[in-house]
Amino acid sequence: MSSDLSPIDKAKFVAAKRAAQFVTSGMKVGLGSGSTAAWLVQCLGERVRVEGLAMTGVPTSRRTAQLARDVGIPVMSLDEAKTLDLSIDGADEFNGKLNLIKGGGGSLLHEKIVATASERMIVIADASKRVETLGAFPLPLELISFGWQTTKALVEETLIGLDVLGRTASLRMNGDAPFATDEGNYILDLHLHRIGDPRQLSMIVNQIPGVVENGLFIDICDAIVVGYGDGRVEVTDINDGSIEETRFDFVERDNIFAD
Protein backbone atom coordinates (compact mmCIF):
# COMPACT_ATOMS: atom_id res chain seq x y z
CA MET A 1 0.00 0.00 0.00
CA SER A 2 1.34 3.45 -0.88
CA SER A 3 0.14 4.66 2.51
CA ASP A 4 2.67 2.30 4.11
CA LEU A 5 5.62 4.01 2.45
CA SER A 6 7.88 6.20 4.56
CA PRO A 7 8.00 9.92 3.67
CA ILE A 8 11.45 9.41 2.11
CA ASP A 9 10.22 6.51 -0.02
CA LYS A 10 7.17 8.52 -1.08
CA ALA A 11 9.50 11.35 -2.11
CA LYS A 12 11.68 8.98 -4.13
CA PHE A 13 8.63 7.37 -5.71
CA VAL A 14 7.03 10.60 -6.92
CA ALA A 15 10.38 11.93 -8.19
CA ALA A 16 10.92 8.71 -10.14
CA LYS A 17 7.35 8.74 -11.45
CA ARG A 18 7.78 12.30 -12.75
CA ALA A 19 11.20 11.59 -14.26
CA ALA A 20 9.83 8.54 -16.07
CA GLN A 21 7.51 10.90 -17.97
CA PHE A 22 10.52 12.38 -19.78
CA VAL A 23 11.04 9.08 -21.60
CA THR A 24 9.33 8.66 -24.98
CA SER A 25 9.16 5.70 -27.34
CA GLY A 26 12.32 5.04 -29.31
CA MET A 27 14.65 6.46 -26.67
CA LYS A 28 17.85 4.85 -25.46
CA VAL A 29 17.99 5.68 -21.78
CA GLY A 30 20.81 5.37 -19.27
CA LEU A 31 19.51 3.78 -16.08
CA GLY A 32 21.27 4.75 -12.89
CA SER A 33 22.06 2.72 -9.80
CA GLY A 34 20.94 2.89 -6.19
CA SER A 35 17.65 3.01 -4.32
CA THR A 36 16.16 6.05 -6.07
CA ALA A 37 17.08 4.75 -9.52
CA ALA A 38 15.41 1.44 -8.63
CA TRP A 39 12.11 3.30 -8.24
CA LEU A 40 12.66 4.80 -11.69
CA VAL A 41 13.23 1.40 -13.27
CA GLN A 42 10.01 0.15 -11.69
CA CYS A 43 8.08 3.17 -13.00
CA LEU A 44 9.49 2.71 -16.50
CA GLY A 45 8.70 -0.99 -16.38
CA GLU A 46 5.11 -0.11 -15.58
CA ARG A 47 4.98 2.20 -18.61
CA VAL A 48 6.42 -0.54 -20.81
CA ARG A 49 3.76 -3.01 -19.62
CA VAL A 50 0.74 -0.71 -19.45
CA GLU A 51 1.39 1.87 -22.19
CA GLY A 52 3.54 -0.16 -24.57
CA LEU A 53 6.44 2.27 -24.17
CA ALA A 54 9.18 1.17 -26.57
CA MET A 55 12.51 2.06 -25.01
CA THR A 56 15.90 0.50 -24.43
CA GLY A 57 17.76 0.80 -21.16
CA VAL A 58 21.53 1.09 -20.76
CA PRO A 59 22.18 0.10 -17.13
CA THR A 60 25.05 1.47 -15.06
CA SER A 61 25.37 -1.63 -12.86
CA ARG A 62 24.69 -5.35 -12.92
CA ARG A 63 21.99 -4.90 -10.28
CA THR A 64 20.16 -2.29 -12.37
CA ALA A 65 20.46 -4.49 -15.47
CA GLN A 66 18.81 -7.40 -13.68
CA LEU A 67 16.02 -5.23 -12.29
CA ALA A 68 15.34 -3.78 -15.75
CA ARG A 69 15.06 -7.24 -17.25
CA ASP A 70 12.78 -8.32 -14.41
CA VAL A 71 10.29 -5.52 -15.13
CA GLY A 72 10.36 -6.02 -18.90
CA ILE A 73 12.73 -3.28 -20.08
CA PRO A 74 15.01 -4.37 -22.95
CA VAL A 75 18.66 -3.61 -22.16
CA MET A 76 21.83 -3.15 -24.17
CA SER A 77 25.41 -2.15 -23.42
CA LEU A 78 26.74 1.35 -23.96
CA ASP A 79 29.04 -0.01 -26.67
CA GLU A 80 25.95 -1.25 -28.50
CA ALA A 81 24.03 1.99 -27.94
CA LYS A 82 27.01 4.32 -28.55
CA THR A 83 25.05 7.46 -27.65
CA LEU A 84 21.99 7.94 -25.46
CA ASP A 85 19.02 10.25 -25.66
CA LEU A 86 18.74 10.58 -21.90
CA SER A 87 20.14 9.25 -18.66
CA ILE A 88 18.29 9.32 -15.34
CA ASP A 89 20.05 8.67 -12.05
CA GLY A 90 20.02 9.54 -8.38
CA ALA A 91 22.51 11.62 -6.38
CA ASP A 92 23.94 11.60 -2.89
CA GLU A 93 24.13 15.42 -2.84
CA PHE A 94 23.32 18.29 -5.17
CA ASN A 95 23.75 22.04 -4.91
CA GLY A 96 22.09 25.05 -6.50
CA LYS A 97 24.24 24.76 -9.63
CA LEU A 98 23.11 21.14 -10.02
CA ASN A 99 26.61 19.86 -9.36
CA LEU A 100 26.54 16.48 -7.65
CA ILE A 101 28.26 13.97 -5.45
CA LYS A 102 27.51 10.43 -6.60
CA GLY A 103 28.94 7.02 -5.88
CA GLY A 104 27.39 6.02 -2.58
CA GLY A 105 26.42 2.75 -4.22
CA GLY A 106 29.84 2.27 -5.79
CA SER A 107 28.88 2.67 -9.48
CA LEU A 108 30.25 6.18 -10.05
CA LEU A 109 32.57 5.25 -12.94
CA HIS A 110 29.85 3.59 -15.01
CA GLU A 111 27.38 6.32 -14.03
CA LYS A 112 29.69 9.11 -15.18
CA ILE A 113 30.51 7.38 -18.47
CA VAL A 114 26.81 6.82 -19.20
CA ALA A 115 25.83 10.36 -18.16
CA THR A 116 28.43 11.99 -20.41
CA ALA A 117 27.35 9.79 -23.33
CA SER A 118 23.80 11.15 -23.00
CA GLU A 119 22.22 14.12 -24.72
CA ARG A 120 20.63 15.03 -21.40
CA MET A 121 21.03 13.93 -17.79
CA ILE A 122 18.17 14.12 -15.31
CA VAL A 123 18.75 13.52 -11.61
CA ILE A 124 16.04 12.31 -9.24
CA ALA A 125 16.31 12.92 -5.51
CA ASP A 126 14.44 13.62 -2.33
CA ALA A 127 14.79 17.05 -0.75
CA SER A 128 17.27 15.84 1.89
CA LYS A 129 19.95 15.59 -0.81
CA ARG A 130 19.92 19.36 -1.44
CA VAL A 131 22.91 21.20 0.12
CA GLU A 132 24.34 24.70 -0.01
CA THR A 133 27.91 23.39 -0.34
CA LEU A 134 28.97 19.93 -1.44
CA GLY A 135 31.00 17.76 0.88
CA ALA A 136 28.90 16.59 3.81
CA PHE A 137 28.47 13.26 2.02
CA PRO A 138 31.82 11.42 1.68
CA LEU A 139 33.28 11.88 -1.80
CA PRO A 140 34.03 8.49 -3.41
CA LEU A 141 37.14 7.89 -5.47
CA GLU A 142 37.41 4.73 -7.56
CA LEU A 143 40.93 3.29 -7.35
CA ILE A 144 42.66 0.34 -8.95
CA SER A 145 43.51 -2.22 -6.30
CA PHE A 146 47.24 -2.32 -7.11
CA GLY A 147 49.12 -0.12 -4.68
CA TRP A 148 45.95 1.34 -3.22
CA GLN A 149 47.61 2.29 0.06
CA THR A 150 50.19 4.34 -1.86
CA THR A 151 47.39 5.99 -3.81
CA LYS A 152 45.56 6.73 -0.56
CA ALA A 153 48.66 8.42 0.88
CA LEU A 154 49.05 10.53 -2.28
CA VAL A 155 45.39 11.55 -2.11
CA GLU A 156 45.67 12.60 1.54
CA GLU A 157 48.85 14.58 0.80
CA THR A 158 47.16 16.32 -2.14
CA LEU A 159 44.16 17.31 -0.01
CA ILE A 160 46.41 19.43 2.23
CA GLY A 161 46.61 22.09 -0.47
CA LEU A 162 42.92 22.10 -1.38
CA ASP A 163 39.94 24.06 -0.06
CA VAL A 164 38.32 21.36 2.09
CA LEU A 165 37.55 21.12 5.81
CA GLY A 166 38.38 17.44 6.36
CA ARG A 167 41.13 15.28 4.90
CA THR A 168 40.36 11.78 6.18
CA ALA A 169 40.20 8.97 3.63
CA SER A 170 38.86 5.47 4.31
CA LEU A 171 38.75 2.36 2.17
CA ARG A 172 35.16 1.19 1.68
CA MET A 173 34.66 -2.30 3.02
CA ASN A 174 32.20 -5.10 2.33
CA GLY A 175 32.35 -7.09 5.54
CA ASP A 176 35.96 -8.13 6.07
CA ALA A 177 37.01 -7.51 2.46
CA PRO A 178 37.39 -4.32 0.43
CA PHE A 179 34.28 -3.33 -1.48
CA ALA A 180 34.75 -4.09 -5.20
CA THR A 181 33.04 -2.21 -8.02
CA ASP A 182 31.69 -3.90 -11.14
CA GLU A 183 35.12 -3.22 -12.65
CA GLY A 184 36.88 -4.90 -9.72
CA ASN A 185 38.21 -1.59 -8.39
CA TYR A 186 38.25 -0.24 -4.83
CA ILE A 187 36.42 2.80 -3.44
CA LEU A 188 38.18 5.35 -1.26
CA ASP A 189 35.73 7.61 0.61
CA LEU A 190 36.99 11.14 1.34
CA HIS A 191 35.48 12.75 4.44
CA LEU A 192 35.86 16.40 3.41
CA HIS A 193 32.81 17.99 5.13
CA ARG A 194 32.97 20.99 2.79
CA ILE A 195 34.34 21.30 -0.76
CA GLY A 196 35.18 24.92 -1.51
CA ASP A 197 36.04 24.41 -5.20
CA PRO A 198 34.54 21.19 -6.58
CA ARG A 199 35.85 21.75 -10.11
CA GLN A 200 39.44 22.20 -8.92
CA LEU A 201 39.23 19.18 -6.62
CA SER A 202 37.83 16.98 -9.38
CA MET A 203 40.58 17.92 -11.83
CA ILE A 204 43.41 17.51 -9.33
CA VAL A 205 42.49 14.17 -7.76
CA ASN A 206 41.96 12.62 -11.19
CA GLN A 207 45.64 13.32 -11.94
CA ILE A 208 46.82 11.07 -9.09
CA PRO A 209 48.15 7.73 -10.38
CA GLY A 210 45.83 4.93 -9.31
CA VAL A 211 42.69 7.11 -9.22
CA VAL A 212 40.30 6.01 -11.95
CA GLU A 213 37.50 8.55 -11.38
CA ASN A 214 35.86 10.62 -8.66
CA GLY A 215 32.23 11.09 -7.65
CA LEU A 216 31.95 14.81 -8.46
CA PHE A 217 29.61 15.39 -11.41
CA ILE A 218 30.34 18.95 -12.54
CA ASP A 219 28.29 20.57 -15.34
CA ILE A 220 26.80 17.20 -16.30
CA CYS A 221 23.29 17.37 -14.86
CA ASP A 222 20.71 19.26 -16.95
CA ALA A 223 17.68 18.99 -14.68
CA ILE A 224 16.84 17.72 -11.23
CA VAL A 225 13.54 16.23 -10.12
CA VAL A 226 13.02 16.61 -6.37
CA GLY A 227 10.28 14.67 -4.64
CA TYR A 228 8.60 15.41 -1.30
CA GLY A 229 6.79 13.15 1.10
CA ASP A 230 3.45 14.89 0.50
CA GLY A 231 3.50 14.07 -3.23
CA ARG A 232 4.90 17.36 -4.50
CA VAL A 233 7.54 17.25 -7.23
CA GLU A 234 9.78 20.13 -8.26
CA VAL A 235 11.63 20.05 -11.59
CA THR A 236 14.52 22.50 -12.02
CA ASP A 237 16.11 22.87 -15.46
CA ILE A 238 19.57 24.44 -15.28
CA ASN A 239 19.60 25.29 -19.00
CA ASP A 240 16.53 27.54 -19.15
CA GLY A 241 16.28 28.36 -15.46
CA SER A 242 12.72 27.06 -15.21
CA ILE A 243 11.18 25.55 -12.08
CA GLU A 244 8.01 23.49 -12.46
CA GLU A 245 5.98 22.05 -9.58
CA THR A 246 3.43 19.25 -9.80
CA ARG A 247 1.81 16.90 -7.31
CA PHE A 248 0.90 13.22 -7.30
CA ASP A 249 -1.94 11.89 -5.17
CA PHE A 250 -1.22 8.64 -3.35
CA VAL A 251 -3.76 6.01 -4.23
CA GLU A 252 -3.50 2.24 -4.22
CA ARG A 253 -3.03 1.91 -7.96
CA ASP A 254 0.08 4.11 -7.72
CA ASN A 255 1.85 1.51 -5.62
CA ILE A 256 3.89 -0.38 -8.21
CA PHE A 257 5.46 -2.50 -5.48
CA ALA A 258 2.20 -4.00 -4.23
CA ASP A 259 2.17 -7.78 -3.87
Binding residues for substrate: 33-36, 89-92, 102-105, 129
DSSP string, the chain: -GGGS-HHHHHHHHHHHHHHTT--TT-EEEE--SHHHHHHHHHHHHHHHHH----EEEESSHHHHHHHHHTT--B--HHHH-SBSEEEE--SEE-TT--EE--TTS-HHHHHHHHHTBS-EEEEEEGGGB-SSTTSSPEEEEE-STTHHHHHHHHHHHHTTSSBS--EEEE-EETTEE---TTS-EEEEEE-S-BS-HHHHHHHHTTSTTEEEESEE-S---EEEEE-TTSEEEEEETTT--EEEEE----GGG-TT--
List the beta bridge partners of residue 34: none
Give the span between the Cα atoms of 92 and 43, in whole angstroms: 21
C-beta of residue 33 within 8 angstroms of C-beta of residue 65? no
Active site residues: 111
List the beta bridge partners of residue 29: 57, 86
